[in-house]
Amino acid sequence: MLKLAGNGIIVIALLMIFSDASFLASLFMSVILSALAYTVGDQYLLRRTSNAAAAAADAVLAFVFFWAVGAYAGWSLSFLEIFVIAVVLGMFEFFLHVRMMREHTWNASDTEPLD
């Protein structure tokens, strides 16, 4: 829930500042990105790699996601604006992962590769 709220605040604010995206479009994209980042970054990579690797992957995912969605939706996002959104999200994810790792200890069976 903290991930969804944090990503929502960051994405909605920055998308509405940097582009002509509406509040609802920004909210919708925030939810989709949060679900993707949770699945890839938190549930898969964070358990198998380091916090830095998972946070970097979340930032790259955000960059690619907003580059593709921005182009499709016709938002006026520049490379630098997408980069700023991705970096801010990556920093948030890094500290979120620290909190997640402090609150949860994974056992060996949690880190087995998915079939």
pLDDT in 10s for each residue of the chain, 115 residues: 888 999 999 999 999 999 989 999 999 999 999 999 999 888 888 888 888 999 999 999 999 999 999 999 989 899 999 999 999 999 999 999 888 888 875 544 555 544 3
Q: How far is CA 44 from CA 1, 29, 67, in A?
A: 18, 21, 23
The answer to whether 17 touches 82, Cβ cutoff 8 Å, is no
The answer to whether 40 touches 57, Cβ cutoff 8 Å, is yes
Kindly report the pTM of this predicted structure.
0.83
pLDDT digits (tens, 9 = 90+) for 78-106: 999 999 999 999 999 999 988 888 887 55
